[in-house]
């Protein structure tokens, strides 16, 4: 608080400080002790005698330093003056960061639509991975099964080194690359059953000088009975009880007249038939195999009706039916063949063996060509060529029917798709459709 009679002159500095200067500083400049700026002190006004002194006000800063009266002194600032108060709150503008370059929108990529699955693909693609076809041609990529071929080749070479002494010349399939998703249980079971029944039959009938009529009637009997057969002698094989019976249409396919006959039929059954079984499923195979045997038997009966009564046995008719299905379902899949010859003294008993692969349709057509030639020119031998043709045609027709009704999907590898390309889709469906083969 100030004392009575205090005549200090009060001024306000630009920094906001209130100063109380002594009377002798009137008209001069004083230095603000807070900010250091020079502040002009006005001349002292005559004091009002009637008014008492109010003393110092709160917040006043007393200036007690003597100030020389006279010319206002030049005040040399010892420090740079502070910036204006509004600069305290002013943000120093920073250099604007450069704008990122404007990205150019990528150019539209040309596209195309797969004609099979309708998926949009880049125009540069040639193959549709979704359904596995060539987009330009509509033909499917060939899916093959080639595992175990090295082992098959090694086993074939080892087997033929001793088999060629018994069979000096031959050409047979040993493996197929046709692809199927199912295990061929029906064909494998049929091969085992055929082997067991054929061995039993060989022991009971072929090697028995007096076979029973019941066992002989398991073969297919065809033709007309001659006078000699109506009244046979005691040593004749055929008796009056031997005749055609309906069950022979199937039972003949499980019988064989020798080990080589059995082995050759089983080889075709396992190589070609197992691939058909793997594609169409086991339920269809178990229904079709007896039908193929029946069809081959009926063809043989019709072709030999006027001949003398004779038996026919062997699975070759039914196996050729599976070969006909193979031709329709897998015409371009490769079949691996083994061809060999051992010509005895002429070739110094040296084995000549060739293992090679060829398209499936060449293999099937090669073997069926023998039947066509023999039946066309009426040549005779111990082979039931009409049974082969009957089974083959029935198998090919059955495969075509399964494709058309879309019960089986060969994924564009079938004969119709190979010949017509994508034009076959209206008839068979697209290659990527789900197959409905049973079990």
From first to last of its 439 residues, the chain has per-residue pLDDT tens of: 444 456 777 778 877 777 777 777 777 777 787 787 777 778 755 444 444 444 444 555 555 544 444 455 555 555 555 554 444 434 344 455 677 777 777 777 889 988 888 889 898 888 888 888 888 888 888 888 888 889 999 999 999 999 999 999 999 999 999 988 899 999 999 999 999 999 999 988 767 766 678 888 999 999 998 766 666 654 455 556 789 999 999 999 999 999 999 999 999 999 999 999 999 999 999 999 999 999 999 999 999 999 999 999 999 999 999 999 999 999 999 999 999 999 877 767 889 999 999 999 999 999 999 999 999 999 989 899 999 999 999 999 999 999 999 999 988 899 999 999 888 999 998 887 765 556 7
Which single residue is written with the structure tokens 């002698």?
233
Q: Which residues contact 117 (CB under 8 A, 6 or more apart)?
A: 128, 130, 131, 430, 432
Length reported for the chain? 439
How big is the CA angle at 225 (ends 224 and 229), to the nearest 5 degrees? 155
* β partners of residue 339: 171, 354
Edge-first strand order for the sheet with 9-12 is 9-12, 18-21, 60-62
Q: How far is CA 106 from CA 103, 109, 110, 159, 217, in A?
A: 9, 8, 12, 64, 81
The closest of 426, 417, 425, 432 to 332, measured between CA atoms, is: 417
Alpha helices in 202-273 (DSSP H): 213-216, 227-230, 248-251, 259-268
- Reported as a single tens digit per residue, the pLDDT across 311-349 is 999 999 999 999 999 999 999 999 999 999 998 777 678
Q: Which of 339, 338, 330, 337 is nearest to 360 (CA)?
A: 330
DSSP three-state, residue 439: coil
pTM of the model: 0.73
**Using an 8 Å Cβ cutoff, are 206 and 218 in contact?**
no
Q: Secondary structure of 66-127 in the HEC alphabet?
A: CCCCCCCCCCCCCCCCCCCHHHHCCCCCCCCCCCCCCCCCCCCCCEEECCCCCCEEECCCCE
């Amino acid at each position: 608080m100030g004392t009575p009679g205090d005549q200090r002159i009060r001024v306000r500095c630009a920094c906001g400080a209130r100063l109380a200067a002594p009377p002798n500083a009137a008209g001069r400049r004083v230095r603000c002790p807070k900010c250091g700026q020079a502040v002009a002190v006005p001349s002292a006004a005559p004091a009002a005698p009637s008014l008492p002194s109010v003393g110092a006000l709160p917040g006043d800063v007393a200036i007690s330093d003597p100030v020389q009266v006279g010319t206002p002194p030049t005040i040399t600032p010892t420090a740079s003056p502070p910036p204006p108060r509004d600069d305290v709150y002013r943000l120093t503008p920073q250099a604007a960061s450069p704008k990122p370059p404007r990205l150019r929108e990528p150019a539209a990529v040309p596209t195309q639509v797969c004609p099979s699955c309708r998926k949009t693909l880049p125009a540069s693609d040639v193959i549709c991975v979704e359904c596995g076809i060539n987009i330009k041609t509509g033909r499917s990529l060939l899916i093959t099964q080639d595992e175990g071929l090295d082992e098959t080749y090694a086993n074939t070479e080892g087997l033929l080194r001793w088999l060629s002494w018994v069979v000096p010349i031959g050409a047979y399939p040993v493996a197929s690359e046709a692809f199927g998703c199912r295990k061929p249980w029906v064909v494998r079971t049929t091969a085992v059953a055929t082997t067991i029944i054929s061995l039993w039959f060989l022991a009971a009938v072929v090697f028995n000088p007096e076979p029973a009529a019941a066992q002989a009637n398991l073969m297919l009997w065809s033709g007309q009975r001659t006078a000699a057969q109506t009244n046979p002698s005691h040593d004749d094989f055929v008796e009056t009880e031997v005749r055609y019976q309906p069950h022979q249409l199937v039972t003949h396919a499980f019988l064989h007249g020798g080990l080589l006959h059995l082995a050759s039929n089983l080889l075709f059954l396992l190589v070609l038939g197992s691939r058909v079984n793997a594609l169409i499923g086991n339920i269809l195979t178990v229904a079709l195999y007896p039908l193929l045997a029946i069809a081959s038997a009926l063809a043989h009966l019709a072709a030999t009706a006027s001949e003398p009564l004779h038996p026919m046995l062997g699975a070759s008719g039914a196996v050729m039916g599976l070969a006909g299905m193979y031709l329709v379902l897998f015409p371009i899949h490769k079949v691996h063949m083994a061809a060999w010859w051992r010509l005895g003294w002429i070739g110094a008993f040296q084995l000549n063996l060739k293992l090679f692969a060829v398209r499936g349709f060449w293999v099937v057509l090669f073997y069926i060509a023998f039947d066509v030639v023999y039946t066309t020119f009426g040549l005779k031998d111990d082979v039931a060529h009409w049974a082969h043709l009957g089974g083959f045609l029935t198998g090919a027709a059955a495969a075509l029917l399964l494709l058309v009704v879309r019960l089986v999907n060969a994924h564009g590898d079938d004969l119709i798709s190979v010949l017509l390309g994508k034009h076959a889709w209206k008839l068979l469906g697209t290659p990527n459709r789900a197959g409905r083969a049973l079990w």
